[in-house]
Amino acid sequence: MRNRTGRFLWLGMLIGLVGWAACDTNTTDLPQEAEEDVQEPVRTPVPEQVDDQVAFVDVHVIPMDAERVLEHQTVLVQNKQIVELGPVDAVVIPDGWAVIEGDGVRYLMPGLADMHVHLNDISAEARKDHIVYVANGVTTIREMWSFNNDLTLRESLGVNESNRFGPYMYVAGPGMDGPGGLHNTPAVQTTEQGRALVEEYANKGYDFIKVYNLLAPEVYAAIMEEAAAQGIPVIGHVPTLVGLQQVVAAGQVDIEHFIGYMLAASNNRSATGTLDLNTVNQLAQLTAAAGTWHTPTITVGALSTNQRVDIIRSPHYRYVSPSMRARFSSGFHQGIPPATAERVEANVGIVLRAVQEAGGRLLLGTDAGFGFMQPGFSIHDELVNMVEAGLTPYEALRAGTANAAAFVGASDIFGTITIGSRADLILLDENPLEEVVHVRDARVGVMLRGRWRSAAWFEHELEALATSYGQ
């Protein structure tokens, strides 16, 4: 897996000094080419904190409704929404509004959605984890295996937002698995149990039902039938005894990790086997025709033991809460041998390209909170890995913006920069459509539901967080 920057810097060293050895001493007298005086563009300092009535002036807007850039725009934000968007000379800035200068060189894009996370099950620390997401530009998350506090956290958005500067949440209920499952959830062994749990989770207000690996086919069918009756969508893994084709036929709306493709197309029914390309392509066409969504989670699936060590040694690991560190160290995913990781990554790339070429639907997700995937920071590795697997920067970013909104039926609320959309925004010094690493390395600040915080503000808050953890 290639989730670290700088690995291609050696390419510039391939320029040879052809004929250099044949030059005589007179070469020292050759006139030297004058160096150009390259002047960096002016970038006006930004305010650290503004809570409402903000004007982004002379920014290049990446609306994410198509692969395009709207140059030299002004964007007005009030009451958590984008209220005006247009060319600089056409938008009047109201008196008294805070101005964030784009200087004609900065880029404004929608906030990112991490559509596969596992929040901390200790409520106080879960709240602290949320600011780490926002610091990295993640303004929406989908919790994939709920604990008791998740619905409370979700509902706190509308109750006392000042106490939770965190991303908007969508929450799946506790995972539903058969006997012998790996996680701390009661096994679902009968069709009656499956139907009862679906009804219970729907009544509690969860956004999704999550299914897992060891469900029996008849139990899975009962879960799907009851979910349809309750009007709650089903997401999750492809149960081993059910298979991808039946999952698609049953109407599961999202498939995690590409596991179903590996089971169906690999010569050893695993992520490390040799894939039959015809089978992969046929399945990709099947899921595309059905409108099934996919969340690849490349980074966690191909995590090597070496990369696990790198993550633990990274400066960002200081921001991981003690309870999440304990979950990581005691978890069953401690990384796989590097050679195996390369094979897994290659296979995931094959499936990803097949899904994209078939017109399939992709979401951006990391499995943050599991397998050493750090909240917030891991999304940048996932973006890089998606691009290296064959997506364009736009396609990878769309998976975490406009696609995420479309998946939850909220395209008019978030995921694009349009008038009336929720003001979840990232301001960058560089164009992320050229390199997705700019979302990580060139962030000027993040706006969450109309509240602006600069990169310097987040740095201070994260340092305070690390100190509170004794780091």
How far apart, in whole angstroms, are the C-alpha atoms of residue 330 and residue 255?
26
Percent of the chain with pLDDT over 90: 82
Per-residue model confidence as pLDDT tens digits over 286-310: 999 999 999 999 999 999 999 999 9
Residue 198 pLDDT greater than 50, yes or no: yes
- Is the four-CA dihedral 338, 341, 342, 343 of positive or negative sign? positive
Q: Sort residue 19 into left (φ over 0), alpha (ψ -120 to 50) or beta.
A: left
Mean pLDDT, residues 15-35 taken together: 37
Per-residue model confidence as pLDDT tens digits over 433-467: 999 999 999 999 999 999 999 999 999 999 999 99
Per-residue model confidence as pLDDT tens digits over 397-433: 999 999 999 999 999 999 999 999 999 999 999 999 9
Q: Sort residue 48 into left (φ over 0), alpha (ψ -120 to 50) or beta.
A: alpha
Concatenated DSSP letters of 115-126: EEE---SSHHHH
Report pTM.
0.91
What CATH number has the domain spanning 42-111+415-471?
A: 2.30.40.10
Per-residue model confidence as pLDDT tens digits over 311-353: 999 999 999 999 999 999 999 899 999 999 999 999 999 999 9
Mean pLDDT, residues 230-240 taken together: 98
Give the neighbor-by-neighbor strand order of the sheet with 361-362: 209-211, 234-236, 254-256, 293-295, 361-362
Three-state secondary-structure class, residue 171: strand
Q: What b/e readout covers 1-28, taking b as 16+ CB neighbours within 10 angstroms?
A: bebeeeeeeeeeeeeeeeeeeeeeeeee
How far apart, in whole angstroms, are the C-alpha atoms of residue 110 and residue 263?
36
Per-residue model confidence as pLDDT tens digits over 2-23: 443 333 332 232 233 233 333 3
Q: Where are the domains of the chain?
A: 42-111+415-471, 112-172+253-409
